[in-house]
Structure 1
Amino acid sequence: MSKVIIIGAGPAGLSAAITIAENGLEVLVLDEYMIAGGRLLGQLYEEPNGNWWNGIKESKQLYEKALDLGVKIQLHTAVSNLEKIDSSWVIYTATETYYTSHLLLATGATEAPLPIPGWTLPGVMSVGAAQVMTNVHRVKPGNRGVIIGVNVLSSAIAMELQLAGVQVACITLPKMSLVTKESGNPMNVMNSLLHVSHMAPSAFVKFGSKLMKIEFMKKMGITFFPKNGVKMWDIPIMLRKAVIEIYGDNEVEGVTMATISPTGEVIPGTEEKVQADFVCIAGGLYPLAELAAVAGCPFYHIEELGGYVPLHNERMETALEGLYVAGNITGIEGAKVAASQGVAAGLSIVHNNGTSNQEQNIKKAIQDIEHTRDNAFIQFHPAVKEGKQKLQHYWEEHLNTVKDMVGN
């Protein structure tokens, strides 16, 4: 039996492993990918201080530090099931079954697809796939692409594609439908776009974004938003056009777009074709929490955190004894927040294992998470703090329910 098992070798999992190993406990990290780092691997952007955040470099440093501390990292290992038997968590993989009393789920996030006519053509991919191809494998997804879906993730990756010499013809909306209602509504999209305006090189765009925070100005902004978009990083971002289909015979040849009204309805007769040899679909991210569900962890849907998240407290403990969570499984945020959560989870595990009293360190780690969140360069969900407050409320309700059951 391993002292601690961590599922997920991203920034949260590796940071937790390092913290635990530094306190003298054996750690085993399992991950289905061939390289440690998770979504951190694909990240590459310039920070406000002028330094470059290189995900591959950051991942390598975490990986090597973990190995130096004696952490066992087993890649190419997918977890198919887990369950609690007596006081042990049992983790099933294709090759072996593992046992532990302390299990951390740091499984991260996955992308939400947007169904668009033609999306099964070769050359259509998620925006995250394009990021990994470009930044990790150094393979261009194509020469000229269209990104469908205007959000924080697509905006950041579009900039990365440009840096790699890949032309992004435009970032535009999907045609509004029952499935794409939120991502196809110009007003909703403008709200999300305002949270990456600080990344724009244009002082005009930055200034305009400040005005757009006024509700009246938002409505005016959508109504008079240029049909051909506003450029950020020399990429047209279009809030008044939507893709109604992806076309091509045996592969992507382009997209058909149409002008839309301020409320998202297609204006007949405005259709036009835009040539491209690849298309990225950006439906946003949601917590990858299936293993927590299999374990029987209570869940709550919190929109501000990106979807369903397992119930947990600030110490990264779930409602199930010996089960912890950290990273994007707890809500969609950046890699630095995930790493901070990994440290907090690691300290909680050390403390609960009885190795040493970590109360003061845990309190500091919780403060560090808040500080990192407050200073995040990219905020995927602007109301994440409200989401965390909702989660804390649900946790307190859970504690009261447990007390009542014990009292009876």
Structure 2
Amino acid sequence: MNNAIIIGSGPAGLTAAVTCAEFGIHVIVIDEYMIAGGRLLGQLYEEPNGSWWNGIQESKKLYNQAINLGVEFYLNTTVNNIEKKENSWIVYTEKGEFQTANLLLATGAAESPVPVPGWTLPGVMSVGAAQVMTNVHRVKPGERGVIIGVNVLSAAIAMELQLAGVEIACLTLPKMNNVTKEAGNPREILDSLLHVSHMAPSPFVRYGSKLMKNDFMKKLGITFYPKNGVKMWDIPIQLRKAVTEIYGKHEVEGVTVATIDVNGEIVNGSEEHIQVDFVCIAGGLYPLAELAAVAGCPFYLIEELGGYVPLHNERMESPLEGLYVAGNITGIEGAKVAAAQGRTAGLSIAYHAGVKGLEIEIKDSIKMTEETRNSAYIQFHPEIGIGRRKVLEQWEEYHVSKGGVR
């Protein structure tokens, strides 16, 4: 059966589709969204060399390549179930059933916003929703907003919103509790930001971050961190303030923030109000891997990769015959790494479909993925390399327990 089905049309899915089609494999791509591109669609940022990464243009380029190679797209189509029957995977959708021997899951990631009192008010949204509204649909989420949650994703999207003429009053933390945990702890947040300090436009901030290499200096840094924050792209990054409430009668009218100590505890009597007309909540991303679970793929919790990930090897193969994974379903990384994984997955599919002479290309593609990862300007998780090694160790242990290594 010389065909393949790919679920997900983000950078991994599109690149895999193009790769497979180049080897004469008929490819069907299924995605629940109305436009191909996935999280590429919302991305717009300046790279270190001064050029601009435009996700919409990149997705159009890949989509057009795929169409010209005969790839068949089923967009705005939800997958309800997948199951293995004999040597074929059956994909059940609202538009019918599809059958293949080679199934790639490139379902990406989802946001995990933290709950804040008042978050059900109209005008509160995830930071990713604000990105899509602004960069894809060209609709401002509002005129002035606050982003709750300080991480790599929220900082990048804050810059994109500012480029679109949207004022961001500040990036600040949620009030620390049993749910928000590390997201409300200024020490934890400072530690995570040190790994992306090279992105800071201020030479002072970049130099200062190099001094905080031990716990004492980190504690000192957060103790003397300015109450009003440090500005990045003219947006205050506030690690010593937390939102205690989003308020408004019928829609967002503002947020209540309070000063917090170095341990994240609220300083009584320090509350103040910031008037805004929208609020974004940024709790980070986690691998969207439900379909892999439905397929029966083994899972492991790898914190360095953002959560539970399906077991896979460097060739993007799962332990289940004919099932492959690529992109953020395997761990939270950038679009370029996802695309590199997509190419590896496409080559692996072509190899198992009977295309000869691909071993060297697959090895080169695995090496290219590693190089892309190591040179990534933005890393969502600072210890991604450790996470990847843990997955490979689990792969070896799994197959040893099954009596052999695939």
Under TM normalisation by the shorter chain, which class is it? over 0.9
Number of the residue aligned with 2:326? 326
Between the aligned partners of 2:162 and 2:54, the Cα distance in structure 1 is 16
Between the aligned partners of 2:72 and 2:195, the Cα distance in structure 1 is 39
In the alignment, is the contact (CA less than 8 A) between 2:399 and 2:405 conserved in 1? no
Alignment of 1:7-156 (within 5 A): 7-156=7-156
Between the aligned partners of 2:363 and 2:2, the Cα distance in structure 1 is 27
Amino acid in the other structure paired with 1:365: S
In the alignment, is the contact (CA less than 8 A) between 1:10 and 1:36 conserved in 2? yes
Aligned to 2:80, the other structure's residue is in SS state strand
Alignment of 1:315-354 (within 5 A): 315-354=315-354
TM-score, length basis structure 2 = 0.98
Please state if 1:243 is matched with 2:266: no
Number of the residue aligned with 2:310? 310
In the alignment, is the contact (CA less than 8 A) between 2:148 and 2:172 conserved in 1? yes
Could you tell me how far 1:404 is from its partner in structure 2?
Answer: 6.4
In the alignment, is the contact (CA less than 8 A) between 2:9 and 2:36 conserved in 1? yes
Between the aligned partners of 1:192 and 1:61, the Cα distance in structure 2 is 34
Could you tell me how far 1:2 is from its partner in structure 2?
Answer: 7.0
CA separation of 1:342 and 1:354: change in aligned 2, threshold 3 A: same
Amino acid in the other structure paired with 1:207: Y
Aligned to 1:89, the other structure's residue is in SS state strand
Between the aligned partners of 2:205 and 2:405, the Cα distance in structure 1 is 56
Deviations 1:274-324 (A, max 9, x none): 110000000000000000000010000000000000000000000111000
Could you tell me how far 1:216 is from its partner in structure 2?
Answer: 2.0
Alignment of 1:320-399 (within 5 A): 320-399=320-399
In the alignment, is the contact (CA less than 8 A) between 1:327 and 1:341 conserved in 2? yes
Please, which runs of 5 or more residues in structure 2 have no aligned partner? none
In the alignment, is the contact (CA less than 8 A) between 2:396 and 2:405 conserved in 1? no
Number of the residue aligned with 1:3? 3
Between the aligned partners of 2:404 and 2:129, the Cα distance in structure 1 is 48
Could you tell me how far 1:196 is from its partner in structure 2?
Answer: 2.8
Between the aligned partners of 2:243 and 2:350, the Cα distance in structure 1 is 51
Between the aligned partners of 1:191 and 1:167, the Cα distance in structure 2 is 27
- CA RMSD for the aligned pairs? 1.2
Could you tell me how far 1:202 is from its partner in structure 2?
Answer: 1.2
Aligned to 1:403, the other structure's residue is in SS state coil
Matched positions, count: 406
Number of the residue aligned with 2:187? 187
Aligned to 1:39, the other structure's residue is in SS state helix
TM-score, length basis structure 1 = 0.98
Could you tell me how far 1:10 is from its partner in structure 2?
Answer: 0.3
Could you tell me how far 1:71 is from its partner in structure 2?
Answer: 0.8
Aligned to 1:256, the other structure's residue is in SS state strand
Between the aligned partners of 2:211 and 2:300, the Cα distance in structure 1 is 35
Amino acid in the other structure paired with 1:232: M
Number of the residue aligned with 1:198? 198
Between the aligned partners of 2:243 and 2:328, the Cα distance in structure 1 is 29
CA separation of 1:405 and 1:364: change in aligned 2, threshold 3 A: closer
Number of the residue aligned with 2:257? 257
Mean Cα deviation higher: 42-51 or 348-357: 348-357
Mean Cα deviation higher: 396-405 or 314-323: 396-405
Deviations 1:216-241 (A, max 9, x none): 21110011111100000000001000
CA separation of 1:262 and 1:290: change in aligned 2, threshold 3 A: same
Aligned to 1:59, the other structure's residue is in SS state helix
Please, which runs of 5 or more residues in structure 1 have no aligned partner? none
Amino acid in the other structure paired with 1:362: I
Between the aligned partners of 1:209 and 1:404, the Cα distance in structure 2 is 47
In the alignment, is the contact (CA less than 8 A) between 1:230 and 1:236 conserved in 2? yes
Mean Cα deviation higher: 193-202 or 149-158: 193-202
Amino acid in the other structure paired with 1:239: L
